Chains A and B, each alone.
Chain A
Amino acid sequence: MEKEKDFLKPEYYENRELSWLKFDYRVLNEARDKSIPLLERLKFVSITSSNLDEFFMVRVASLKDMVHAGYKKKDIAGMTAQEQLDAINKDTRALVELQYSTYNRSLVPLLYNHGIEIVSAHEELTPEQAEYVDHYFQENVYPVLTPMAVDASRPFPLIRNKSLNIAALLTKKNEKKKETEFATVQVPAVLPRIVQIPSSKEGIRTFLLLEQVIERNIHQMFLNYNVLCAYPYRIMRNADLSIDEDGAEDLLQEIQKQLKKRQWGEVIRLEVEEKIDKRLLHILKEDLHIAQEDIYKIGGPLDLTFLMKMYGIDGAEDLRYSSYKPQRVPQITPGEDIFAAIRKGDILLHHPYQTFDPVVDFIRQASVDPDVLAIKQTLYRVSGNSPIIASLAQAAENGKQVSVLVELKARFDEENNIVWAKKLEKAGCHVIYGLVGLKTHSKIALVVRKEEDGIRRYVHLGTGNYNDSTAKLYTDLGMFTCSEAIGEDATAVFNMLSGYSEPLSWNKLIVAPIWLRKRFLKLIKQEVKHAQEGKEAFIKAKMNSLCDRDVIAALYEASAAGVKIELVVRGICCLKTGIPGVSENITVHSIVGNFLEHSRIFWFHNDGREEIYMGSADWMPRNLDRRVEIMFPVEDERLMDQVRHILGTQLADNTKAHVLQASGKYEKIDKRGKKLVNSQEQFCEEAKNAVPKKVNAYQDRVFIPAEPVE
């Protein structure tokens, strides 16, 4: 017991927020990688920026809440909330610094070399360009602007979360007294942030940011005033919803109510341009009630997410990766009976290398199949205009029993989900709005079919959401099966989600929040046992985040016992490698590539009787304790081999992988003398090669002339 306690020492753990920031660093690192096409690098900068926004709205916000509430408990790394905020502040500033130096010093000049010019300030425009901009302002921008002045009778207006605004100092014209007034105007989100303007040189495309267009013309809005100065600023508010579920009679209404409140959350970050006027900054600071340490002075355009738009500009194909078309799944012929294909054996789907279409098709075919009795599915994040939703509604209209669990509590998708939920309900589906106190994060779809030899259940289990758009960007694994054991469990899952009793026991599926943590710990312990007996023991796993204290402690124990542990962790990793006697046998890789790594694989050696699982859960407390998650075993030998290959390739990746060092830094692998492995590229190739070649049916057809009978 004494020994076990050892593994819980705070110094063995990394703080999760700081680890997250390291992840954002790794993404930014991609933007600095000269081997990557220029526009792709822009995209990575944009991602770091939007990541950081979300991080502040959710994580920093809740730390602030803790500080306000006087919450003194330390995290696994032994830091109080205030200590964490201080450390985050320091690291964030460094990150932002790097972001902008990357943008200003490498990307903007490089873009110019490639014929794309971003004019950084309206003052630099040529007269012709200026004329165009003024005209553009009059025609397009001016009609949608709402300038707001602040004075005794007009209080400081509500500044919307994440919106870009321009603050200005004004003085009345024709007045002797030089009393300054404050005004603010929101940069309209309905207009494109980047405006293409005529170029001064041949062969160059020139862009100007919308806020520069407005800044240049700001005097147009305040005709009776002199504009002393105008600078853009941006705020971030506390966005973590706190929902009183026990008291909330109707979860739907409660969430709608909370969404309205989100725009009123406390301001936790203020971004302003570096050169902002001191008086202006002072006014903002006072009226937004923000502390000095939460103000970020930015040396460049605020909100770099506009770079995603830059990424998508027409032409310039040579500056982007050629777009990859998800390949056909070899076992499933489009347009043919998908159920027949599943009956031939379990099918593994690897997105986005393989297309997500079969999953959409699975529901679509079920909705019109006269033999299908019921369709049951969980939906967490759904794409706009989702074909799955349409099929589910269609199925209900066709008289099938359709049960859909729509998770209303999916962060930032709440509004979206409410719309779908209502739509489905109207179509006659039985809609379950999640469970009180738990988020339903599991991804499972069940089709019950009445066939000639009885009822058969087809199940799709996955690591990613039923979202056909993100399936093109996120790497996820899915499995189709009609195994009876899993079918029974799937039925039981939906019975449980509908409020009926849990099954007495499960055949195959492992379900959080009740059983999953125990199972993981048991699986790890099992390896410890084998290692202690001198047998080979290893754990290979891939996930998005690793920050559960119990799991990490178990991994330390396993490592100490001699279990070889190889992990691929994309984001947060609170585990530290290379601690003598604790984690010397653990390696942590992190792959940041063109696609977002999202699949979760858990592979245990188990003395030769290998066990491989996939699922929706990370090794995070929230996944193991506060969510409904499903982990499922991969048992078909063929599929096991496929999954082993996938995880093996990812572990071998030396192009896109960073390795966590004992120092806590992530470093790229020294590639010298090694065969280059880029797992994502390799999977793309493999998926292309796996598609069966088209056979020329025409050649096979031969007319056989009848011979005369002797």
Chain B
Amino acid sequence: MKITTFAAIYIGSYEVSLKIFEICPKRNMRSVDYIRSRLELGKDAYNKGFIGYELVEELCQILKEFHSIMEGYKVDAYKAYAGNVMRVASNALFILDQIRFRTKIEVSVISNSEQRFMGYKSLAASAQFEKMIQKGAVVVDVGGGSMQLTLFRKGTAITTQHIELGIMQIWEKLAKIRNMVSHYEMQIQELIDKELEIFKRIYLQEKDIQYVVVMGDYIGEMVKGFSKKEEDGTIETERFLKLLKKWHRKSPEEISVELNLSNEQDPLILPSVVLYKRLTEEMNAPYIWVPGVNITDGIVCDYAEANHMIRFEHDFEKDILSASRNLAERYHSYSKHTEAVLSMGLVIFDAMKKVHGMGKRERLLLQAAAILHDCGRYISLVNQSECSYQIVMASEIIGMTHLEREIVASIVKHNAMPMQPYKSVNDKMDQESYMIVSKLTAILKIANAMDRSHKQKFKNMKAVLRDRELMITVEAEESIVLEKGLFSAYADSFEEVFCVMPKIKEKRVFQ
């Protein structure tokens, strides 16, 4: 039983943290040490747009110490990530280079969706999670600058929304009026309500949410006092709210003392109380669960999964599909046609395996693209390519990396227009991704062409690759002149990509 010692480093906007884990295939992961060093990189990054050398110097010093701590634990591997603070810093590349040079630590910058996905993975690693999302759950990941709401129904993700509302941000927004109002907590509440209202209106119409799962600072301390919990570790929302209401009007000092916080006058405690109170009230779920995980836990889950040390019960790919479907439905573009294109696209993809050399993940991207290929029509029937692209890019699909989203958006875009040369998109993706886009677009176009009339005339489609021909056999009950006629135009572009010519062979079925 090999135990891997792993270190997760996260560079956040006000804290640099190192968490040491032990990963053991048969046991859960165990956190061994958690070292946090306060460093307000955000001050520079958000105000000036870059991070000044003093802070970089300090950051390197901290990471150097982290490095020696990692050596002390004899860690087998580590991952170091930086979040939003590096994304907005214009000199991020130079900083990363300095860090690499001085501390021998490789830091990668991750996008919001990747960051949230990691947090989500750390949730999925626990056993209760699967049961909760079956019954319907909202996962709320509260950070300093923003939060992420992810809605689950029937075991899969429905949507994920990024809301620019974080604990630190609330506090700073209200900094100017803090001393002018007597009921500071009311102001916080108003600010929060405004942001939450829209999410609630769009997604929470049906009252089917059983659990609110909350990740974030302070909440762990808040629920610590509940000795009586449900079997799965959740707490009845009513009891939780009762407690929060009690604190609602207390001073930060009083709350800090009650929570046993290290900082006696934590300014962020009041915004947190109000925010958590409003969140739980609005979600209207009978139970609340505080798993007590954060990004560093996510980093280790991500690593362990990638190295086959753990397997998730949860199927993240299903999330991608359900979230895509939900997105398509929202833009009234999910129809029988979508499903037909989806299934035909997959038949072609599978038949072409030897030629295109793509794997499971790309197949998933094709599915997502097929589901979303018509969403732009909701906005403009003429300009649907661009609109589809924009919709996909503006929506977060949990489980997809930023690059994958770009790929899917590009496929959807080029589905209705000719493929552009690489040089026109080389700022957005590398050549490998460009090839994926080209190949998948070619497949999608053929699949789409076969249901041109949106009437699902083709039944029992089969595809077989023979030499340089892809023989697509279909059964049809009515005339397929339109489809056949338009097919040849797309077949050429298909051949261009794969050097394989698709051909339709009709098997007329009479009843």
From the candidates B3, B15, B72, name the one contacting A374 in the complex (CB within 8 A): B72
A500 and B260 in contact, given A373-B74, A450-B74, A454-B3 (Cβ under 8 angstroms): no
A residues near B259, Cβ cutoff 8 Å: 505
Determine if B33 and A491 form an interchain contact, defined as CB atoms under 8 angstroms apart.
yes
Partner of B260, one of A374, A448, A506: A506
- Known contacts A401-B72, A454-B24; A505 and B260 CB within 8 A of each other: yes
**Would you call A501 and B221 a contact (CB within 8 A)?**
no
Contact B36 A500 (CB under 8 A): yes
Q: Which residues of B contact A454 (CB under 8 A)?
A: 3, 22, 24, 30, 32
In the assembly, what is the distance between CA of A500 and CA of B5, in Å?
21
Interface residues of A in 460-498 (CB under 8 A from B): 491-492, 495
B200 at the interface (CB under 8 A from A): no
B73 at the interface (CB under 8 A from A): yes
Question: Which of the residues A374, A448, A503 comes within 8 Å of B262, measured between beta carbons?
Answer: A503
Whether A504 and B35, one on each chain, are in contact in the complex, defined by CB atoms closer than 8 angstroms, is no
| A-contacting residues, B55-108, CB 8 Å | 68-69, 71-74
Chain B positions within 8 Å of A518 at CB level:
257
A668 to chain B, nearest CB (A): 43
Q: Is the CB of A502 within 8 A of B262?
A: yes
B197 within 8 A of A: no
Contact A455 B22 (CB under 8 A): yes
Q: Which residues of A contact B5 (CB under 8 A)?
A: 450, 455
8 A Cβ contacts from B211-263 to A: 217, 220-221, 224, 257, 259-263
Once the chains are docked, how many angstroms separate the CA of A500 from the CA of B262?
13
Chain B interface mostly: mixed
The number of residue pairs between A and B whose CB atoms lie closer than 8 Å in the complex comes to 63
Q: How close is B339's CB to chain A, nearest CB, in angstroms?
A: 49
A504 and B37 contacting across the interface, CB-CB below 8 Å: no
| A453: Cβ under 8 A from any B Cβ | yes
Decide if A316 is an interface residue (CB 8 Å cutoff).
no
The docked-state distance in angstroms from the alpha carbon of A454 to that of B25 is 12
Residues of A near B1 (CB, < 8 A) are 452-453
With A500-B35, A500-B37, A505-B221 known as contacts, the answer to whether A514 contacts B262 (CB < 8 A) is yes
| B292-314, CB < 8 A from A | none
Min CB gap A457→B, angstroms: 8
Q: Which residues of A contact B22 (CB under 8 A)?
A: 454-455
Chain A 442-461: CB-based contact to B (< 8 A → 1; otherwise 0): 00000010101111000000
CA distance A178 to B224 in the complex (A): 87
Could you tell me the distance between the alpha carbons of A465 and B261 in the complex, rounded to whole angstroms? 29
Q: Are B32 and A455 in contact (CB under 8 A)?
A: yes
Q: For chain A, give the interface size range.
A: 20 to 34
B492 at the A/B interface (Cβ < 8 Å)?
A: no
**A520 contacts the other chain (Cβ, under 8 Å)?**
no
Shortest distance between the CB of B297 and any CB in chain A (Å):
14
Task: Decide: B261 and A373 in contact? CB cutoff 8 A.
Answer: no
Residues of chain B within 8 A of A514, CB atoms compared: 262, 264
Given known A-B contacts A453-B3, A454-B3, A491-B33, A504 and B261 have beta carbons under 8 A apart = yes
B353 in the interface (beta carbon within 8 A): no
Residues of B within 8 A of A453 (CB): 1, 3, 24
Q: Answer yes or no: A222 CB below 8 A from chain B CBs.
A: no
Which of A455, A499, A500, A515 contacts B73 (CB under 8 A)?
A455
**Bound complex: CA A501 to CA B262 (Å):** 9
Closest to B221 in A: A505
Per the bound structure, the CA–CA distance linking A234 and B69 in Å amounts to: 53
The residue in A400, A454, A502 that gathers the most chain B C-beta atoms within 10 A of its C-beta is A454
Q: Which residues of A contact B455 (CB under 8 A)?
A: none
Asked, given contacts A373-B72, A514-B262, whether A503 binds B3 with beta carbons under 8 Å apart, the answer is no
Q: For the complex, is B38 an interface residue (Cβ under 8 Å from A)? A: yes
Output the least CB separation between B259 and chain A (Å). Answer: 8
In angstroms, how far is the closest chain B Cβ from the Cβ of A684? Answer: 41
In this complex, what residue of B is CB-closest to A495? B35
Residues of B within 8 A of A515 (CB): 260
B34 contacts chain A at the CB level, 8 A cutoff: yes
Q: How far is the CB of A611 from chain B (nearest CB, A)?
A: 15
Min distance, Cβ B37 to any Cβ of chain A, angstroms: 5
C-alpha spacing A504/B30, complex, angstroms = 18
Determine the distance from Cα of A491 to Cα of B1 in the docked complex, in whole angstroms. Answer: 26
Complex contact A503–B72 (CB within 8 A): no
- Chain A residues with Cβ under 8 A from B221's Cβ? 504-505
* Binary CB contact string for chain B from 1 to 41 against chain A (1 if under 8 A, 0 otherwise): 10101000000000100000010100000101111111000
How far apart are B70's CB and chain A's nearest CB, in angstroms?
10
Distance, CA A495 to CA B35, complexed state (A): 7
Q: How far is the CA of A515 from the CA of B262 in the complex (A)?
A: 8
B-chain residues with CB within 8 Å of residue A495 when the two chains form the complex: 33-35
Who on chain B is nearest to A451 by CB?
B3
Residues A501 and B73 in contact in the complex (CB < 8 Å), given A454-B30, A455-B5, A495-B35: no
Residues of B within 8 A of A373 (CB): 72-74
Task: Tell me, rounded to whole Å, the shortest Cβ–Cβ distance linking B42 to chain A.
Answer: 16
- Contact in complex: B36, A505 (CB < 8 Å): no
When distances are taken between beta carbons in the complex, the residues of chain B under 8 Å from A505 are 220-221, 224, 259-262
Complex Cα spacing A500 to B425, Å: 45
- A445–B260 Cα distance when bound, in Å, is 24
CB distance from A131 to the nearest CB of B (A): 68
B210 to chain A, nearest CB (A): 28
Tell me which residues across on chain B come within 8 A of A501, comparing CB atoms.
15, 36-38, 262
A452 proximity list for chain B (CB < 8 A): 1
User: From B38, which residue of chain A is reached at the shortest CB distance?
Assistant: A501
Name the residue of chain B whose CB is nearest to the CB of A374.
Answer: B72
Kindly report which residue of chain A lies nearest to residue B217, judged by CB atoms: A504
Measured between beta carbons, the chain A residues less than 8 angstroms from B73 are: 373-374, 448, 450, 455
Given contacts A373-B72, A374-B73, A491-B33, 12 further A-B contacts (CB under 8 A): A400-B72, A401-B69, A448-B73, A450-B5, A452-B1, A453-B3, A454-B22, A454-B24, A455-B22, A504-B261, A514-B262, A518-B257
4 closest pairs, A vs B, by CB? A401-B72, A502-B262, A501-B36, A454-B22
Give 11 A-B contacts (CB < 8 Å), ordered by A residue. Answer: A373-B73, A373-B74, A401-B68, A401-B72, A454-B22, A491-B33, A495-B35, A500-B35, A504-B220, A504-B262, A505-B224
B contact residues vs A (CB 8 Å cutoff): 1, 3, 5, 15, 22, 24, 30, 32-38, 68-69, 71-74, 217, 220-221, 224, 257, 259-264
